[in-house]
């Protein structure tokens, strides 16, 4: 039985999120190269979080805007910014936003789209993206490719996901064990993370849902919103998507 006293939301704990994501750096050069190669001057990032992708872009002297619905994530992001107009980082829902501006590049980075559970919400998001694109804009989605292990519920038992240092507890080393419960009808995966200390005691629990988005579904949703897939990659190295790919990277235009 789940101990409800230990359940928490990671979106209320932005520093813990940063601690967990310490390892994720492999997409930064991908975006830097996109910005250079496409001569991007302005960027809008949806689900900008605590600035993992946004800060390196700001450091490239790009006109960067970010939005996230977590007040605490946005506050932490803003606290990291020096010599930049942090009013361009806004608390806003990705399904309902409006800027008086069109952007050269719009990003939905590292698996963030999977937090929109229904086709209706994804359509709302894509519609807003379309309205913020000009004729030469690029829209990039980076999302994982659902695995057989997930969709067959082979990971319903706990899997050792990672170790990290919890800076909110004097860099205590914690381990995350992950379990999954996939619903094939809704294509929604319910994920549970157990945070365990070195004495194998449970510290806290994080439960969340992610939509398992397959290529045929995403291609259809993009087309329904008049967004064209110009390139479809399987890795940040820009290798084409194939049956061995663990990522789906879409480069879209109007």
Q: Identify the pLDDT of residue 131.
A: 98
Residue 190: alpha-carbon gap to chain centroid? 16
All residues at 6 or more sequence positions from 229 whose CB lies less than 8 Å from its CB, including other chains: 219, 222, 250, 251, 252
User: Could you tell me the pTM of the whole model?
Assistant: 0.95
pLDDT at 153: 66
Task: Report the topology of domain 24-145+213-253.
Answer: Rossmann fold (3.40.50)
Query: Which pLDDT score is estimated for 154?
Result: 59
Confidence of residue 150 (pLDDT cuts 50, 70, 90): confident
**DSSP-based helix, strand, coil % in the chain, nearest 5:** 30, 35, 35
CB of 214 within 8 A of CB of 146? Answer: yes
pLDDT reading at 174 higher than 90: yes
Residue 224: pLDDT band by 50, 70, 90 thresholds? Answer: very high
- Segment 152-156 shows an average pLDDT of 66
7-63 pLDDT tens trace: 888 989 999 999 999 999 999 999 999 999 999 999 999 999 999 999 999 999 999
pLDDT tens, residue by residue, 197-218: 999 999 999 999 999 999 999 9
Q: 151 pLDDT exceeds 80?
A: no
Say whether pLDDT at 221 is over 80.
Answer: yes
Mean pLDDT of the chain: 94
pLDDT band at 1 (very low <50, low <70, confident <90, very high): very low
Contact 109, 27 (CB under 8 A): yes
Looking at the chain, the whole-number percentage of residues with pLDDT higher than 90 is 90
State both tokens at 17.
């999120």
Q: What is the mean pLDDT of residues 137-144?
A: 98
């Amino acid at each position: 039985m789940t101990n409800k006293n230990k359940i928490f939301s990671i979106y209320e704990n932005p520093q813990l999120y940063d601690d967990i994501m310490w390892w994720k750096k492999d997409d930064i050069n991908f975006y830097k190269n996109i910005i250079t190669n496409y001569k991007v001057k302005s960027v809008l990032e949806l689900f900008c979080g605590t600035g993992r992708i946004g800060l390196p872009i700001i450091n490239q002297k790009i006109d960067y805007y970010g939005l996230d619905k977590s007040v605490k994530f946005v506050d932490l992001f803003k606290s990291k910014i020096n010599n930049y107009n942090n009013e361009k980082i806004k608390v806003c829902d990705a399904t309902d936003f409006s800027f008086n501006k069109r952007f050269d590049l719009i990003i939905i980075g590292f698996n963030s789209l999977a937090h929109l559970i229904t086709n209706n919400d994804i359509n709302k998001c894509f519609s807003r993206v379309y309205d913020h694109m000009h004729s030469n804009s690029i829209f990039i989605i980076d999302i994982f490719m659902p695995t057989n292990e997930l969709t067959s519920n082979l990971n319903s038992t706990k899997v050792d996901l990672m170790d990290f240092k919890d800076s909110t507890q004097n860099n205590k080393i914690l381990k995350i064990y992950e379990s999954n419960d996939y619903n094939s009808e809704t294509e929604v995966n319910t994920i549970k993370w157990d945070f365990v200390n070195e004495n194998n005691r449970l510290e806290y629990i994080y439960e969340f849902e992610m939509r398992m988005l397959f290529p045929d579904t995403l291609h259809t949703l993009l087309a329904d919103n008049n967004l064209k897939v110009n390139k479809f990659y399987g890795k940040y190295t820009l290798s084409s998507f194939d049956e061995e790919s663990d990522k789906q990277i879409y480069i879209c235009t109007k």
